Amino acid sequence: RNLRIREDTAKYLLNLDVNSAYYDPKTRSMREDPLPDADPNDKFYVGDNQNRLSGQALEFKQLNVHAWEAFDKGQDFHMQAAPSQAELLYKSFKIKKEKLKSESKDKIMEKYGNAASDEPIPRELLLGQSEKEIEYDRTGRIIKGQDVALPKSKYEEDVLINNHTTVWGSWWKDHQWGYKCCKQTIKNSYCTGLAGIEAAEASADLMRENMARKEAAEEEPVRQEEKKLATWGTDIPQDLVLDQKLLEESLKKEAKRKKEEMDERKRKYNVKWNDEVTAEDMEAYRMTRVRHDDPMKDFLN
For residue 116, tell me if it sits in a domain.
no
How high does pLDDT run on average in the chain?
81
d(CA 179, CA 172): 8
> How many angstroms from the chain centroid is the CA of residue 291?
70
Please indicate, yes or no, if residue 101 is contained in any of the structural domains.
yes
pLDDT (mean) for 226-248: 65
Burial code (b: 16+ CB inside 10 Å, e: under 16) for 107-121 equals eeeeeeeeeeeeeee
The pLDDT of residue 23 is above 80: yes
- Tell me which of 109, 128, 159 is where a domain ends: 109
Task: Provide CB contacts within 8 A for 12, sequence distance 6+.
Answer: 23, 30
Task: Tell me which H or E stretch contains 108.
Answer: helix 83-112
For residue 290, what are the domain limits? 241-294
How wide is the angle at C-alpha 171 spanned by C-alphas 165 and 176, nearest 5°? 130
Q: Would you place residue 147 in the very low, low, confident or very high pLDDT band (cuts 50, 70, 90)?
A: low
Asked whether residue 236 is assigned to any structural domain, the reply reads no
Choose the final residue of a domain: 88, 109, 130. Answer: 109
pLDDT tens-place string over residues 215-230: 888 876 666 666 555 5
Q: What is the pLDDT of residue 101?
A: 95
Three-class DSSP category at 93: helix
Confidence band for 99, pLDDT divided at 50, 70 and 90: very high
Please say whether the beta carbons of 222 and 237 come within 8 A: no
Task: Identify which has the larger pLDDT, 285 or 172.
Answer: 172
Tens-digit pLDDT profile for residues 35-47: 999 998 888 888 8
The answer to whether residue 235 sits within a structural domain is no
- What are the DSSP E strand ranges found in 53-187? 135-136, 142-144, 171-173, 176-178
Question: Between 97 and 280, where is the model more confident?
Answer: 97
Q: What is the DSSP string of 256-279?
A: HHHHHHH-GGGPPPPS-------H
At 97 the pLDDT is: 94
Q: Which of 109, 144, 168 is the last residue of a domain?
A: 109
Give how many domains the chain has, as a whole number: 2
pLDDT of 134:
80
Q: What is the CA radius of gyration of the chain?
A: 52
Residue 156 within any structural domain of the chain = no
Per-residue pLDDT tens digits for 192-208 = 888 988 998 999 999 99
pLDDT over 80 at 297, yes or no: no
Percent of the chain beyond pLDDT 90?
Answer: 21
Q: Is residue 150 part of a domain?
A: no
Q: Per the domain annotation, does 128 fall within a domain?
A: no
2 three-class SS: coil
**Which pLDDT score is estimated for 224?**
62
Domain membership of residue 247 (yes or no) is yes
Residue predicted with more confidence, 72 or 117 = 72
